[in-house]
């Protein structure tokens, strides 16, 4: 069949392949259902972006897209690509502007019955205690240039050393909250300045903090290891590297556009600006990107600590009564040097995940000891009006998707269209009818993020579950939301 004018062949019920044509170096592969392929992707430029990514020098096996695919900058959001370390490139478009935008999930000992009458107050206090929105600042204090540089090197380990969490939080964070070989000297003064007052703040748009309830358990054994039970209250945090990460991307896109010209790359889209991984430009971008990733992990660590304190204060309970503990923290926008099986050979490659979650299998050396039997937790937020999912990585992800799975629902309406559709509606009232308390900076954010602006995340998660890439563990639904 043809989608957006491009030939797409069915490999299985969940896998569709774009054969190589033109300058493509590898085929494209999309994980999706036929229904989503024929509806939400029919006129989406993201399909063309899968083709464009397949032109990158040194790309391995496939240009991949997860079922939450939608149009993005250069790469589609939901795009995954691995490039050879010797002959391949690094592309900021394969990471995105919000470097290490990610999700962390914390559990409590509380049930919905314990807090139901206090949800409104909990949301009010969380909104008061955690700065949100464009330019949000002042969660802790304005940090010195020296402190920011320490965060850029040490990530969330800085926050824990300052009393914002525990060593257990570090263990249960991807990369232990710190990417090595991060060099703050490679960041512009403007990037540093933008981060000085934003540690512990939620961004705008689709970023959020939710009070969720565990609604359904699919795998009792894995859920028990993760500490999840039905009707339990959990906290989900979704945010990234704020203005600092945006500035890093913006600064280095200009550098890599010139590098592409110098190396003579002839790519179908200027937004795929890239440089050889082993070039000075490629090395510098990777180091700067790692700094921004570390800033994001630190950011989510501080927010989690502020949320814990807010819950304790509102409910007037002790730490031992609340039992607020991190389950896991994953990043969605990142490039990492990893070892993967490429045509029977174990090879070091640079894996770009842009709107995709790492999904390593049971027994993998890079996941916490406590999750060696379950596989890495894969945290998949949906829209603020329906539900989110907790899944777990599988061995099949390593052979098919470079250890990657989906990251969310994926937009079906632009923010402009969603805002127009919400005009004149009582959006807060609609959320309240769904049993959800919400506080946000304004009407615009709520309208842009309403459920009908997104795919149904259950359809997205089911594709990966049925394909055997990540298996469902639990479904959680929101009862309280704060947004920028």
Per-residue pLDDT tens for 47-73? 999 999 999 999 999 999 999 999 999
Helices (H), 7-101: 34-38, 46-53
Is 407 among the catalytic positions? yes
- What's the whole-number average pLDDT of the chain? 94
Helices (H), 98-178: 112-115, 119-129, 145-154, 156-161, 167-171
* pLDDT reported for residue 445: 80
Residue 133 has pLDDT above 80, yes or no: no
For the chain, give every domain's residue range.
Answer: 2-97+336-371
pTM of the model: 0.95
* pLDDT reported for residue 105: 98
pLDDT in tens, 445-458: 888 887 777 889 99
Given a contact cutoff of 8 angstroms between Cβ atoms, the answer to whether 71 and 256 are in contact is no
Residue 41 has pLDDT above 70, yes or no: yes
| Average pLDDT of the residues in 213-226 | 98
pLDDT in tens, 221-260: 999 999 999 999 999 999 999 999 999 999 999 999 999 8
Please identify which of the residues 364, 407, 416, 465 carries the catalytic annotation.
407
- What does 286-352 look like in DSSP terms, one character per residue? HHHHHHHHHHHHHHHHHHHHHHHHHHHHHHT--HHHH--EEEEEEESEEEEEEEEEETTEEEEEEEE
| Average pLDDT of the residues in 199-227 | 94
- What does 195-242 look like in DSSP terms, one character per residue? HTT-TT-B-STT-EEEEEEEEEES-HHHHHHHT--TTEEEEEEEE--H
């Amino acid at each position: 069949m043809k989608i957006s004018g491009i030939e797409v062949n069915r490999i299985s019920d969940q896998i569709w392949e774009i054969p190589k044509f033109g300058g493509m170096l590898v085929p494209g592969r999309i994980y999706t259902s036929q229904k989503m392929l024929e509806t939400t992707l029919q006129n989406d430029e993201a399909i063309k972006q899968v083709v464009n990514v397949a032109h990158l020098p040194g790309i391995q096996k496939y240009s991949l897209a997860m079922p939450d695919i939608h149009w993005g900058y250069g790469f589609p959001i939901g795009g995954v690509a691995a490039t050879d370390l010797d002959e391949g490139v690094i592309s900021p478009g394969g990471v995105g502007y919000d470097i290490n935008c990610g999700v962390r999930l914390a559990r409590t000992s509380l049930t919905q019955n314990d807090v139901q009458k206090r949800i409104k107050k909990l949301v009010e206090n969380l909104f008061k205690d955690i700065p949100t929105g464009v330019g949000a600042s002042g969660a802790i204090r304005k940090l010195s240039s020296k402190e920011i540089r320490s965060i850029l090197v040490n990530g969330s380990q800085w926050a824990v050393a300052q009393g914002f969490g525990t060593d257990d939080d570090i263990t249960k964070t991807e990369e232990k909250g710190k990417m090595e070989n991060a060099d703050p000297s490679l960041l512009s003064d403007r990037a540093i300045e933008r981060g000085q007052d934003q540690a512990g703040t939620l961004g705008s748009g689709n970023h959020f903090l939710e009070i969720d309830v565990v609604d359904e358990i699919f795998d009792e054994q894995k859920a028990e290891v993760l500490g999840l039970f039905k009707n339990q209250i959990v906290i989900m945090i979704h945010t990234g590297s704020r203005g600092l990460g945006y500035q890093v991307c913006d600064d280095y896109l200009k550098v890599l556009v010139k590098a592409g010209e110098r190396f003579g790359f002839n790519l179908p889209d200027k937004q795929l600006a890239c440089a050889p991984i082993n070039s000075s430009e490629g090395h510098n971008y990777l180091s700067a990107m790692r700094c921004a990733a570390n800033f994001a992990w630190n950011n989510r660590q501080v927010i989690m600590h502020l949320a814990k304190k807010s819950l304790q204060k509102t409910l007037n309970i002790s730490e031992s009564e609340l039992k607020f503990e991190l389950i896991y923290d994953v990043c969605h926008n990142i490039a990492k040097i990893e070892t993967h099986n490429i045509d029977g050979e174990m090879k070091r490659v640079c894996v770009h995940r842009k709107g995709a979650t790492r999904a390593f299998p049971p027994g993998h050396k890079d996941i916490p000891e406590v999750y060696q039997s379950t596989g890495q937790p894969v945290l998949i937020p949906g829209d603020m009006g329906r539900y989110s999912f907790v899944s777990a990585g599988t061995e099949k992800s390593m052979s098919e998707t470079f250890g990657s799975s989906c990251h969310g629902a994926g937009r079906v309406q632009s923010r402009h269209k969603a805002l127009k559709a919400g005009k004149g509606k009582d959006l807060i009232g609609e959320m309240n009818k769904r049993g959800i308390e919400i506080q946000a900076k304004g009407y615009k954010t709520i309208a842009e993020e309403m459920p009908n602006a997104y795919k149904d995340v259950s359809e997205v998660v089911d594709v990966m579950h049925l394909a055997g890439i990540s298996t469902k563990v639990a479904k959680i639904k929101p009862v309280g939301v704060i947004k920028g």
